[in-house]
């Protein structure tokens, strides 16, 4: 009987070992699957991270290009503004110079007209005097002729 118990015990022990081995194998398989899932999860997260970083880099590149384009447009606008300002300034200087020349010409012409008006006033005054005192005028002319004749007779070129 002792041998029977031993073989029954051995058989039970073998079954227990087999069950323990199966449980251990299942546990190892579960751990392996868990590790695989965790590794897969890490790889997916890393892949998402790389994709996100790539998208961010692309976005930064687009932003850089936009900033460059905007800066270029601003520089061109500034240069065009400066050019227009310089052209306006040159035009203003040109107009100012022309205006100064015209002013000088007008002043010269005004002075000439003023002198002409004064000359005409003097002539008009002389004519008025002759009209007011016709005998004196006639006497003056006769007197001058008489003086001229007397001067000739006395022998001078005076």
Full residue range of the structural domain in which residue 122 is found:
2-136
Is 69 inside any structural domain? yes
Mean pLDDT is lowest, of 64-68, 138-142, 143-147, for 138-142
pLDDT on residue 158: 45
What is the mean predicted confidence (pLDDT) over 68-88?
97
pTM of the model: 0.45
Is 99 inside any structural domain? yes
pLDDT on residue 134: 62
Beta-carbon contacts of residue 137 (< 8 Å; ≥ 6 apart): 129, 130
Is 143 inside any structural domain? no
Mean pLDDT of the residues in the chain: 87
Is 158 inside any structural domain? no
Is 102 inside any structural domain? yes
Is 147 inside any structural domain? no
Is 155 inside any structural domain? no
Work out how many domains the chain is built from and give that number. Answer: 1
């Amino acid at each position: 009987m002792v041998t029977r118990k031993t073989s029954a015990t051995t058989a039970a022990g073998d079954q227990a070992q087999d069950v323990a081995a199966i449980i251990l194998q299942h546990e190892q398989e579960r751990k392996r699957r868990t590790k695989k899932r965790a590794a897969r999860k890490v790889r997916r997260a890393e892949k998402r991270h790389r994709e996100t970083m790539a998208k961010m880099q692309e976005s930064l590149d687009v932003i850089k290009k936009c900033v460059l384009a905007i800066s270029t447009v601003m520089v061109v606008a500034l240069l065009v503004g400066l050019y227009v300002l310089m052209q306006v300034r040159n035009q203003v200087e040109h107009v100012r110079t022309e205006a100064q020349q015209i002013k000088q010409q007008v002043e010269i012409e005004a002075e000439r007209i003023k002198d002409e008006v004064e000359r005409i006033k003097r002539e008009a005054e002389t004519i008025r005097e002759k009209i007011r005192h016709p005998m004196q005028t006639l006497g003056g002319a006769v007197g001058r002729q008489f003086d001229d004749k007397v001067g000739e007779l006395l022998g001078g070129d005076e």
